[in-house]
């Protein structure tokens, strides 16, 4: 299954930041605190998740051609997802996260 492109603005439930639509990528996490929400089940954009837990940024990783990605872990069900960094993401936080060693294991 292919990812479904959903790029929409949203209000962060964690810090209250109003996130506008992303440039060049899909907005799937907050640009200020980097938290995300567990809304997709099998492919990005399917919005099939019944979990709806908040997902916190646990680390960043670089994987091949996709470049820098944020590793999100769901605070509720512990599911992990990789999300591409957006242009206007909080770089200070990303730098901090990049200092945490993380092994990408499926």
Minimum distance from CB of 4 to Zn ion (Å)?
Answer: 18
Q: What angle do CA 19, 22, 23 make, to 5 degrees?
A: 145
Minimum distance from CB of 26 to Zn ion (Å)?
Answer: 16
CB 90 within 8 A of CB 99: no
What kind and span of H or E run contains 68? strand 67-74
- Binding segment for Zn ion (CB under 5 A), chosen from 56-64, 65-73, 77-85, 93-101, is 77-85
The Cα 71–Cα 82 span in angstroms is 5
The Cα 94–Cα 81 span in angstroms is 16
Residues between 34 and 53 with contacts to Zn ion, criterion CB under 5 A: 38, 51, 53
Minimum distance from CB of 90 to Zn ion (Å)?
Answer: 9
User: Footprint of Zn ion on this chain (CB under 5 A)?
Assistant: 12, 14-15, 17, 30, 32-33, 38, 51, 53, 74, 76-77, 79
């Amino acid at each position: 299954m292919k990812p479904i492109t959903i790029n929409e603005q949203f209000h962060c439930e964690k810090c209250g930041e109003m996130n506008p639509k992303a440039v060049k990528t899909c907005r799937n996490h907050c640009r200020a605190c980097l938290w995300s929400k567990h809304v997709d089940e099998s492919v990005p954009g399917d919005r099939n998740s019944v979990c709806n837990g908040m997902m916190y940024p646990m680390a960043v990783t670089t994987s091949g051609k996709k470049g820098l990605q944020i590793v999100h872990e769901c605070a509720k069900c512990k599911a992990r997802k990789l999300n591409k960094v957006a242009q206007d993401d909080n770089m200070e936080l990303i730098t901090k996260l990049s200092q945490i060693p993380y092994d990408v294991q499926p």
